[in-house]
Chains A and B, each alone.
Chain A
């Protein structure tokens, strides 16, 4: 039970990280970057 609570708390910390990242604009940044043709991914940008 103690381990379960620790894992739950750690999970909440990580979820807080996601939310904080979202507030900083991480979601928009990822959407913007992921919406353009990634030349590096395709091996077209030397």
Chain B
């Protein structure tokens, strides 16, 4: 198994192991919720211990406060490791990796789609949250419905929560289904196109401490790295690409060992 895959599984277990919620029905309430995970992980999920940084970001914007903690959190991680967290610790990214393994028709993502995530970050999670005082990205988030909405509504025996199900719930389920279907055909469809966390880290990819280095003398431009890349990044052309998640699948597959990971 690839090292980043092992890390994804371990991190998913660490983040989402509040299993007593299954029989008590209560989400975790305690000091660990002060900490955010560096990826999209719904804080409404019954089994999670930690908070979601995008949920936190929108919460402070809803209050018309500058999110010092969240901004510092994203910045400190991004400047050191760039988008590496997306590759090594994101359970929603891992789910998309596995969906893409299904044997079906495979499609290429138009490049302009990769810029939509900046609109989602600035527009939906930023400006709209500020103006409407509502966390509109959370209302649309497919990770939220998968990790929180569906499990909680399904486990609701009394029917109190089920009574609240309305158009928004069904819209979120529809978004999740669309994202999942596209993830079967396109590598990490959501991460590349819509994820606001990825949008933040991608900016840091240009100058982060950790970076991918290509030995141009060794590279034969065989494109095997791009084929192996979960984000379909042409890493041999652009080692600081905005969508590189530093998973190092490329360096493992490179026939000439032209790719390596290094800190400045």
Q: B79, A7: Cβ atoms under 8 Å?
A: yes
Q: A41, B148: Cβ atoms under 8 Å?
A: yes
From A30, A35, A41, A44, B36 is in contact (CB under 8 Å) with A30
- Among A20-44, those with CB < 8 Å from B are 20-22, 24, 26-31, 33-35, 37-44
Cα-based distance from A19 to B154 in the complex (angstroms): 39
Q: Which residue on chain A has the smallest CB distance to residue B163?
A: A44
Q: A42, B144: Cβ atoms under 8 Å?
A: yes
For A7, what are the chain B residues with a Cβ–Cβ distance below 8 Å? 79-80, 207-209, 264
Identify the interface centre among A4, A7, A10, A40: most chain B CB within 10 Å of its CB. A40
From B42, B68, B79, B170, A11 is in contact (CB under 8 Å) with B79
For B165, what are the chain A residues with a Cβ–Cβ distance below 8 Å? 43-44
Q: B43, A43: Cβ atoms under 8 Å?
A: no
Q: Which residue on chain A has the smallest CB distance to residue B208?
A: A7
For B72, what are the chain A residues with a Cβ–Cβ distance below 8 Å? 14-21
Interface size on B, residues (CB 8 A): 55
- Among B110-161, those with CB < 8 Å from A are 134-135, 138-139, 141, 144-145, 148-149, 152-153, 161
For A38, what are the chain B residues with a Cβ–Cβ distance below 8 Å? 42-44, 55, 138, 144, 148
Q: B161, A44: Cβ atoms under 8 Å?
A: yes
> Interface SS of chain A: helix, strand, loop or mixed?
helix
From A13, A35, A40, A45, B27 is in contact (CB under 8 Å) with A35
B192 on interface, CB distance cutoff 8 Å: no
Contacts A14-B72, A44-B161: A34 and B51 contacting too (C-beta < 8 A)?
yes
B69 on interface, CB distance cutoff 8 Å: yes
For A13, what are the chain B residues with a Cβ–Cβ distance below 8 Å? 75
Q: A43, B149: Cβ atoms under 8 Å?
A: yes
B binding-site residues for A, Cβ under 8 Å: 27-31, 33-34, 36, 42-44, 50-52, 55-56, 59-60, 67-73, 75-76, 79-80, 134-135, 138-139, 141, 144-145, 148-149, 152-153, 161, 164-173, 207-209, 264
* New A-B pairs, 12, CB < 8 Å, besides A7-B207, A28-B34, A44-B149: A7-B264, A13-B75, A17-B72, A26-B68, A30-B56, A38-B43, A41-B141, A42-B44, A42-B145, A43-B149, A43-B172, A46-B168
